[in-house]
Amino acid sequence: ITHGIRGWALHLPTNSVRIVEGILKDGMDCCINVSLGVLIGEALVVFITLFFLVIIRQLPEQHRFTNDYL
């Protein structure tokens, strides 16, 4: 597959060749990027959860209102 892509890229300008090579490199780094994305996503979820917990604790009136409402 890579030989076909390189042979097809030889007929294109150098910018297109660089774009195709960048796409191939991105494909090679796909697993690393996916694992990094998962780690960043989990960190964002934890950060947002802690952020909302801090907001709830810093708003006692809102918390009291929800307790009275429930």
User: pTM for the whole thing?
Assistant: 0.36
User: Quick count: other Cβ atoms within 10 Å of Cβ 24?
Assistant: 15
User: Quick count: other Cβ atoms within 10 Å of Cβ 21?
Assistant: 13
Alpha carbons 31 and 49: distance in angstroms, whole number = 27
**Sign of the torsion formed by the C-alpha atoms of 54, 58, 60 and 66:** negative
The one-letter amino acid code at 53 reads L
Q: Give the tens place of pLDDT for each residue, 40-70.
A: 888 999 998 988 888 777 766 655 555 555 5
| Sequence spans of domains, the chain | 2-69
User: Quick count: other Cβ atoms within 10 Å of Cβ 69?
Assistant: 6
